[in-house]
Structures are given as C-alpha cells and as structure tokens.
Amino acid sequence: MRMSNSPRERALAAIAALPSFAPVPALEFTVGNRLAIIGDPDVAFGWGERVQQACAVIVLATAHHHRLAALRAAHPDALVLPVDRAAIEGHAGAYRVLWECGDEQGEIACDLILDLQATPHWSGFELPVGYFAPGSDPLDQALAVLALVQLIGEWEKPRYVRFSSALCAHERNRIGGCSRCLEVCDTQAIRPSGDHVAIDPYWCQGCGDCVGVCPTGAVRFQYPRPADWSTALSAALDAWSDETPCTLLCYDERWRGALAQWEAEGGELPDHFLPLPIWRTTIFSEEWLLYALIRGVARVVLVSAAESEKPALLRAAAMVQTVFEALGDPYAAERVAIVCETTPEALTKRFSAPLSPYVSPGRFRFRLQTEKNDSMRLIRDALAKLAAERQVDAPVLLPSGSSWGAVAVTDRCTLCFACTGVCPTQALQAGGGIPKLQFTEARCVQCGLCANTCPEQAIELTPRWNPSQEANQAVILRQSEPAYCAECGAVLGPRSVLDKMVATLQSHPLFGQPDRQLLLRLCADCRVKAQFRETDPVRIWEL
C-alpha cells in the first residue's frame, strides 16, 4: 500500500476516512406533465405541438390576437384559454395560473410553465424551478423546453437552509430591524412575515447569500452544515503538518469543472493548497472565515463565480482583516482572498507563495456549532486568548454592517424597557426588579431593533470587537434610584420618571390634594384598595 506523503494527500485521505455525516433533509417534488404555455398564440401553439408527446399542454394565449381564432380552428383538440392577464403562484408540480380575460377570470393548475410573454410574469431574479421565461430567441426557447421536460417525474432537492423564526430579528411590533437576507436573496424565496421572515423551501435554490449575511444565525446552511464542514476541515488540518502552511482553497460546483480539466491537462496545485469544494462559497460568513484562520489555516482563498456574489464576502473579509490587524498580524490583509472569474492557472500563480499561519494548527480544536451564537462564543473566546497574549484589550472599531458591536444609551433613556422586549438575543436585559438596563456585548448582533424601537431615540450602535472579558459580562448602561409603592414597598419604576409624572399631574384638579397625589405613588394593587377606601374615588373618565 502506498503511503500518503504530501500534506494535501494526508488531509484529503483524512476527510475521506470520516464517517458519513447525517443526511441533509430533502424536499420532494412530484412534477406531472401539465404544461402551461403563456404568450403569443403563434409561438405558444408551435411549442405546444412540439411537446405534446411529453406534456399535456394548455395554451394561455394573448386574447384579441388576430391569429387566435384561426389557430383555434386549426387545432380543435388543443386546450386554449384567451387571457388578458395572468398571475402565477406556487412551485414546480403545483403551479396555479390565475387568469383574467375581459370580465371572466379563473385559475388553472399545472406542473410547469413556459412563459413566452413579452413581459414575463417573473424576471430579474433567479427564477423558481419549473418556471421558464426564455425570451424571444428560438434557441433559448428550445433549451427551455428541453429543460422543462427533464423535470417531469419525482425527484428531490436538499433543504439547503434551516430557519429558526425565534432568532430572526426582522421586525418587532411592526418596527423594522434586520432585512439583510431580503436584500440579497436572488430567488425571492424570502419574504417578510410579521416579526420574522419566511423562506419558501421550494423557491430556495441554495445560493447561500442569506446565510452569509444573517447576523443571528436564524438562517443556517445545511448543505453542508457548519458543524460537518468544520469537522472535515479539522480532520484535514490534523493530518496536515505544522511545517507546511495551509492555503484553504474553497470553490463551488461551477468552478469544479474548470479545475478538473486543468488538472487533467497537467496543471497541479501548489503543495500548500488544500482544495475543499463546497456547494456555494457565498455561505462563508465571518463565522466560517474566522474559524478557519483560528483553526490554523494560513490563508483562505474563496473562488466566487460572479462579481455580484462578492460584496457580502468582501464585508465578511473586511471584518476578519480588521480583527487580525488589531492582533498585530502583518499579513492581516492577505488572510482572506476572494477571487472571481479566474482560471486555475492564474489563481495558483497569484497565490504560489505560502503564508505563515497566524495561529498554529491544533492550538484551538473546537468545531463550529449547530447554532451560530454558540460558534461565535467559541470564536470570541479564542480571539480573546490571542488578544490577551498580545495585550490587546481595547475595543476595535469594525466596518459598518458587522454583526459584533456595542450599544450605548444617552441621557434621553427613561428606562421604559421597550428595547429589552424586542432584543432577539437578550443582549439587552432589564435589571431584575430594579430600574436598570443591562447589556452583554458578546450577545449583540447589531440588528438595530432596539434603536429603531426606542421612543426616545436614546440608543446608539457601534460595530466593534471588544476583546476584553467585559464583553461577556452584563454591564449597566443606565440605572435609576427605584421608586417604591408608598404602601406595600413594591418597586414601581425609576424614581426620576415617577417624580416627573407627579410634578406634571399635581396641577390637575383631580390630583391637587396630597392624599390624591399619594395615589400616584402606589402600585396598581394598592391603588385599587385605596380607591375602595375612598368616599369620593378618582374616576378614570374624569381624568
């Protein structure tokens, strides 16, 4: 048996020897052969005739078209609906076309849709599976028809993401917070749904953009799961050698063919490259990048297929760079490289020189966790250790949009605690029975819900990395001397707020007398009891 000698061979052998990971949940599609063709009758009838062996076609033809009557006469068996307007809902195997024609309207169910309208119902984003809008080019139309016929049958695709609505910071009480995933989703699979967003798994095509930008981990990728990916990387790094720095090369399915062809033609990756293909490189958030570098990778090279995929990756890379710069790493700017539209030859030339790792492999041996919050805690702990060794303990400002940071309140804060009720991570908390607002920086994901909710606009956010232990502790942002119920001693709230309220109301005719003012200094229960004792109680409608 030949021994694996190079670090790369050992690393890849170690990954191959890992037990299989738990299967990713699948989404099942049952796609029948009902095809709706929408558009110009001439073209729609033409394609309808050509696919009639494979599909049960219904033509939704542009109404009032001068050729419609003649075509219907020539195809007496064809199912034809003249339509003025058509709206579409559903997904492959379960589409519904809601049509209107003059005063008439109705809907048809179909499995697949070929939309040949001049202005298709959907365009401008990655279209859902089973819906084709190829435009007017006959070649594109033919390719679409070939592709749609392939979809007939039963098949499944991975549930690419797992979504936890409780962690989503989209909205609270109709006040907006995070919308990052909505802004980047190219398939329109994500929609607002009350306090959180909702992800349509049938529309999701696994681009991973939302995963990379989600600050809370409400959206987690499952293809692969972070824990599985980090297990594979850990196994590879354990089999690697300390002497050879490791450049982690991650690329997606779309670049795999180019690399395979280049290697078949004699191209060879430098020894320090560890190639780890992944479904989409867009899933690399700061969590994955920081993990790789802390685990001992010297440099991460992400091959992205398109320029449009780069902004989110660049944001994450900028955050990582800032953290490593703060740690005094002279190669901080080179730790993460995002390249796109490159050839394997150009890429290997560009990164031919290895880089020394900042952290020696094996120093930190944790894996990424099921929940992002747990992963980030481990990552922050590791970074805090590195920072302590280099005597870095002052907070470091991070690029805007980073998901680490601080919250501060100004003097306008009245301790109303509207913010603690909306904070999805419990970074902001009330102070257990006394008027006190506490903040734990390590929990904050900078979603902005608290600032948007605060009626006094008293909250300010600062993206930053706080390497000190203080980040893990609840610090008091604001507190006030409590006011107690004058009868039972229960805490009523901040004394300053109560004093202000009493001062405002004492000029009111109903509270002019001291015994009436006393009512304002009672808790709800004691106030009711006091009201019953009074011969002339305050009536709410008199206020």
- Exposure string for 76-96, b = 16+ CB within 10 A, e = fewer: eebebbbbeebebebbbbbbe
Are 327 and 392 a contacting pair, CB within 8 Å? Answer: yes
Q: Which residue lies nearer to ligand SF4 by CB, 197 or 523?
A: 197
Question: Whole-number minimum distance, CB 216 to ligand SF4, in Å?
Answer: 5
Q: Would you say 114 and 145 are in contact if contact means Cβ atoms under 8 Å apart?
A: yes
Three-state DSSP at 403 gives coil
- Residue 182 or 538: the one with the smaller Cβ distance to ligand SF4 is 182
Spatial contact of 128 and 148, defined as CB atoms under 8 Å apart: no
CB of 454 to ligand SF4, least distance (A): 9
Among 36, 61, 181, 338, binds ligand SF4 (CB under 6 A): 181
**CB 402, min distance to ligand SF4, A:** 12
Yes or no: say if 210 and 219 are a contact pair by the CB < 8 Å rule.
Answer: yes
Q: Which stretch binds ligand SF4 (CB under 6 A): 234-242, 365-373, 439-447, 484-492?
A: 439-447
Closer of 214 and 290 to ligand SF4 (Cβ): 214
Binds ligand SF4 (CB under 6 A): choice among 301, 423, 492, 498 = 423
Rg of the chain's alpha carbons, rounded to an integer?
Answer: 31
Q: Which is nearer to ligand SF4, 55 or 428 (CB)?
A: 428
Nearer Cβ to ligand SF4 (178/249): 178
| Binding flag, residue 446, ligand SF4 (CB under 6 A) | yes
CB of 221 to ligand SF4, least distance (A): 12
CA distance 536 to 531: 8
Q: Please check whether residue 494 is in contact with residue 416, taking contact to mean a CB–CB distance below 8 angstroms.
A: no
Of 399 and 537, which has the nearer Cβ to ligand SF4?
Answer: 399
**Residue 42 in tokens:** 């001439």
For residue 154, give every residue at least 6 positions away whose Cβ sits within 8 Å of its Cβ, in sequence order, or none.
28, 29, 30, 31
Contact (CB, 8 A) for 283 and 228:
no
Binders of ligand SF4 among residues 204 to 223 (CB under 6 A) are: 210, 213-216, 218-219
The one segment of 84-92, 445-453, 462-470, 498-506 that binds ligand SF4 by CB under 6 A: 445-453
CA–CA separation, 31 and 107 (whole Å)? 18
Stretch that binds ligand SF4, among 30-38, 139-147, 176-184, 522-530 (CB under 6 A): 176-184
Which of positions 341-370 make contact with ligand SF4 (CB under 6 A)?
none
β-bridge pairing 474-479 and 405-409? unpaired
Stretch of 82-90, 96-104, 383-391, 421-429 lying at the interface with ligand SF4 (CB under 6 A): 421-429
Site for ligand SF4 in 447-486 (CB under 6 A): 447-450, 461
Scanning 367-433, the segments in alpha helix (DSSP H) are 372-389, 418-422
Tell me if the bond preceding 224 is cis, omega within 30° of 0.
yes
Residues that bind ligand SF4 (CB under 6 A): 168-170, 178-181, 196-197, 210, 213-216, 218-219, 407, 422-423, 425, 427-428, 444-450, 461
